[in-house]
Amino acid sequence: MSPLFLRIWLTFWAVLALTFLLALGVDYGLAVRRANDIDRLSPRALAASGAEALATSGETGARRWLLMQEGRLPELQVLIVAPDGRELTGRSPADVAQALSRRRAGAPFPAEVDVPVGGQPYRFVFRRSRPLAFDLWDVLLQPWVLGGLILTISGIGSAWLAGSMARPIQRLQGRVRAIADGDLAGRADPRVAGRRDELGDLARDVDHMAARLGDLIAAREAMLRDVSHELRAPLARLRAVADLARRRNPERDATLDRIDKEVDRLDDMIGQILRFSRLQAEVGVVLEPVDLAELVADAVEDAALEAAAAGRTVAYRPPAAAIVEADAALVRSAVDNVLRNAVRFSPPGGTVQVTLGAGDGTAALEVRDDGPGVPAEALPHIFEPFHGEGSGAGLGLAITRRVAALHGGTVSAHNREGGGFTVTLTLPLPAAPRDEGAPPRLAVAD
């Protein structure tokens, strides 16, 4: 049960319950006031009024007077006993005796008053038929039954109303989260988008926003691919010119070496951009059994050569085996990016520690360096494209995250206490042994 549903439900329920209790309290207060007004009535004055009607119109007039009193004072029962013992409305002597049986000290009612009419003694008997004229209670006779019924009905109605408001919002929330995770092709739930109210308008606006974002991202990626391809041609010509100049001047030229180095860097950056664009285009990846321990060992061997040239070392003790189903080329690219980053930011003489373990259904590769780490404010963004990693295009870790997502894995990073930085890449292990004769599966990126 969502907090929004609870908040709406409890709010409506509380409003209905408070409204009911307020109405109950007002009616009760009016009833108490009326009861106090009745208790202040004088039995003798009432009897005198009835005797006057009796003297004027006889017993017929007395009965009309009784009907009038019953309408005016429904809480007060009046009986008139004639000299011969008859009660004018047909009640028995036992009823008259019962009316006078519940006397209370200090209470004006029940009461009896003898009044002579035409020389004959008539007896007027007054009693309270009920203590309060509390009409809401009289619906079901018992106040707690009525209160329980009201609270039950209002609770069910409030729950329905809260659900009708909370469910569309929850579905929209799911769609917005899907957009945040990169699903721009999906659409909002038709039950929400088809509504003819503000929630339906919001769902359609969210769909329009997702479609527009998809178009903008596709246009950006197309532009990156086109620009990258176009840049490779002048780079190739620049490298050819540098080679031609070196052949004409066989002596080592530091300027030409610098040109070659910068051309190689530009070519590597363009290659990263093209790889990232292909990954973002949701191309299919072929999954096959890969020994992750062997793959990491090969990547460490290459990284160790680069590290040695910079006065750093890479330490790795491979496990016996860690078989995963993966696209070996993509995973190798992801591991290379993490290792190169660690080597680049390790201080001279530093050591990059690489560990690989398997457990809980996943294989986890952990790469630790002795570098300065990442500022806390930049840490949440290091896996975003073009955020920058000190040098290069800022795509290495973004590619790593995309490769991990394509394989159902994760990548995370954190600063270590005392200095240093750790990146952890996890990939799922196969749930069951793979049939050797089965063809490789084709997994489509999500």
Residue 389, pLDDT above cutoff 60 = no
- pTM: predicted TM-score of the whole model, two decimal places: 0.47
User: What's the whole-number average pLDDT of the chain?
Assistant: 77
Number of residues in the chain: 446
Residue 137: the pLDDT is 45
Query: Quick count: other Cβ atoms within 10 Å of Cβ 366?
Result: 15
Residue 156 has pLDDT above 80, yes or no: no
**What are the tens digits of pLDDT across the range 329-374?**
888 888 988 998 899 888 888 899 999 988 888 899 999 998 888 8
Percent of the chain with pLDDT over 70: 77
Highest-confidence segment of 4-13, 108-117, 226-235: 108-117
CA distances from 16 to 9, 23, 156, 158 (A): 11, 11, 11, 9
CATH architecture of 284-444: 2-Layer Sandwich (3.30)
The share of the chain scoring above pLDDT 90, in percent, equals 9
CATH number, domain 190-267: 1.10.287
Q: Is residue 125 within a helix (H) or strand (E), and if so which, with residue range?
A: strand 120-128
Q: Angle at CA 266, nearest 5°, toward 260 and 272?
A: 135
| Contact between 385 and 275 (Cβ < 8 Å) | no
pLDDT at res. 296: 92
Say which CATH topology domain 41-137 has.
Beta-Lactamase (3.30.450)
CA-CA distance, 377 to 147, in Å (whole number)? 56
Residue 139 has pLDDT above 60, yes or no: no
Q: Where are the domains of the chain?
A: 41-137, 190-267, 284-444
Cβ atoms within 10 A of the Cβ of 6, count? 13
Identify the pLDDT of residue 367: 93
The confidence score (pLDDT) of residue 272 equals 65
